Structure 1
């Protein structure tokens, strides 16, 4: 993964996305993609609804990711 890359996801890991990073963030992605826009965790330091800051669990190559809800409708792929 490289700084500045943007991925869109709701149900499944995007193509090219790191497997370990996906394991660390998928529950937040799913929640944000399905309407969890309230401040629902760490409300003491994340003040923006629809945003989550999550880090990958790879201790040797840590990556911090900013997840943001969009207005794109979430739906299962056919």
Structure 2
């Protein structure tokens, strides 16, 4: 099974919020691939360039992954 990260974009906030939920123990190549995707497919279309320029906040939730898992 492929590992995936979830990207949630909220354009209603100022600045725009991109919330990233990562699988546990993300590798450096996975993080680099994710960063490239965010810059090319979210930041560039939203700002017209590849800089965040204060218009987009990125929240990465990997640190909290263990704390929010609940077995049902």
TM-score w.r.t. length of structure 1: 0.30
As a proportion of its length, which structure holds more strand? 2
Larger Rg: 2
TM-score by length of 2: 0.31
* Larger fraction in helix: 2
Structure of higher RCO (CA pairs closer than 8 Å, 6+ residues apart): 2
